[in-house]
Amino acid sequence: MDASNSPPITNETTPLPKTPLPKLQIGILMTLQLVEPIASMSIFPYINQLIRELGITGGDDAAVGYYAGMIESLFFVAQTLTVLRWSRLSDRIGRKPVLLVGLSGTCISMLCFGLSTTFWGLVISRCMCGVLNGNVSVMKTMVGELTDSTNMAQGFALIPVMWCIGGFIGPLIGGTLARPQDNWPGLFAHPFWSKYPYFLPCAVSACGLVLGFFVLLFFLEETLSTKRRPKLTTTLGISNGVNSGNREGLPQASNIPVRSLLIPTIVIPIANYALLALLDIALMALLPLFLSTPTYLGGLGFTPSHIGLWTAILAMADGIFQALFFAKIVDWVGPKRLFCVSVSCFAPAMLMFPIMSWLVHTRGMVDYAIAFPLIGQLALTVMWDMAFGTVFMFITASAPTKNVLGAVNGLGQTSASMARVIGPAFATSLFAFSKEHNILNGNAVYVVLIMLAGVLRWLGSQLPDEIQDRDE
């Protein structure tokens, strides 16, 4: 039989070769993805101590969680009200101008946060950051435009990696540089530092944002097809022509009505992202609160520097694992199965909190007694964080056309921000309520969150079995 007449079975059985990532543009985006979590995470090691020093709790340590949760929740209220508008604006004027405004807004808000001496000053500065910053959604959109189905996992794996690195550096900055007069009295003897003891970590974080602003301004290329330079077409390769068709018969225009995007293929991944975000922000709010809570209330009584060190270790381990293994595990088990396994790790991670409380109560503050559950919780959290990379892939692949990718990511971020509005206040308030009234021996907050994790596991089962090939 003539070999030339044989059917081309290799094209059907051999996977497509992976398209190389555009390293310079992805690298610039990841730089921007790094400086923002550094700023946002830098406040967590000292926020509870700052609230205590403001005197608004009346000396009630258990009430600190209410106010700490309110500050973060109001940030997400502001972001919820504006992030979709920023995302849709990026579909019209381009991604780059929106990112520049976002970096500027975050920088100004961080400086205002460090200069705030009242609770409402803290609230206003965080709300300013939420209103002026739609970058988290726009960056995901750009990663989606810079990748195709063969390298999407590699691209989206870098987003949580950068957040983890930022989560490592940010808490170190916050925990180390807060109240510099206490640590370096000779160097910071000026009365300014006693009046604004938390300005230094905010100023250092703002410097990173300024650096990111100029890197973006001079080196980042526009990715929106109607605004980018012609030379970028050859740089992006396959991904420029991705999905020129319309899978759902929707109008191909950036001003498409939002209600037209509320279809099952888009809503299901977004619903998963929203509940994932709620549980994740609840965990991130509970961790420093639990670590800082006095031992007689069931916490560990850590200082801000110890909290900063532990959260930095968690972020470092998370980032290294995501960078080395996420894309490989996605290729091995598939995005849906990985998502379901990852979200199943939330319940045992929650159980580590009451276990540590019990150990402290029965054995006292013994280092080796709490080391094992802390390390176990770290490993479970690393597994849990892989859910984000996979859900970003599902949301990006759900966009019916390329020119509404910003709007789809905006819807996803709006939903996640709404969940994050509820998350910190809900988790920290329920934590305080559980402790004050000794509900389920102070563990009611963990039971409620574990039940919500069960709902997320069911939602994950509704995701499509495979990522749709955006190149066809």
* pLDDT per residue as tens digits for the range 255-308: 567 777 778 888 899 999 999 999 998 888 788 778 877 777 767 777 777 777
Token pair 């590699």 is found at 154
Q: What predicted TM-score, i.e. pTM, was given to this entire model?
A: 0.71
Q: In a 3-state reduction of DSSP, which class is residue 34?
A: helix
Structural domains in the chain, CATH included, are 20-220+257-460 (1.20.1250.20)
Q: Could you tell me the two tokens for 152? A: 């999407």
CA distance 29 to 368: 41
Share of the chain above pLDDT 70, in %: 85
Q: How many C-beta neighbours within 10 Å does residue 60 have? A: 12
Q: What is the pLDDT of residue 59?
A: 67
CA distance 397 to 253: 18
Phi-psi region of 246 (alpha: psi -120 to 50; beta: other; left: phi over 0): beta
CA distance 433 to 60: 13
* Mean pLDDT confidence for 116-136: 87
CA distance 366 to 441: 22
| Lowest mean pLDDT segment, chosen from 282-291, 365-374, 390-399 | 365-374
* pLDDT per residue as tens digits for the range 415-440: 888 887 777 778 877 877 777 777 77
Q: How many C-beta neighbours within 10 Å does residue 252 have? A: 13
Q: Which helix (H) or strand (E) holds 270?
A: helix 264-292
* pLDDT per residue as tens digits for the range 63-94: 776 787 778 778 878 888 888 888 888 888 88
* pLDDT per residue as tens digits for the range 210-266: 999 999 999 988 887 776 665 444 444 434 433 334 444 444 445 567 777 778 888
Q: Is 209:110 a contact under the CB 8 Å cutoff?
A: yes
Confidence at 348, pLDDT banded by 50, 70, 90: very high
Q: What is the pLDDT of residue 2?
A: 46
Q: What is the pLDDT of residue 199?
A: 93
Average per-residue pLDDT for the chain? 79
CA distance 92 to 86: 10
Confidence at 456, pLDDT banded by 50, 70, 90: very high
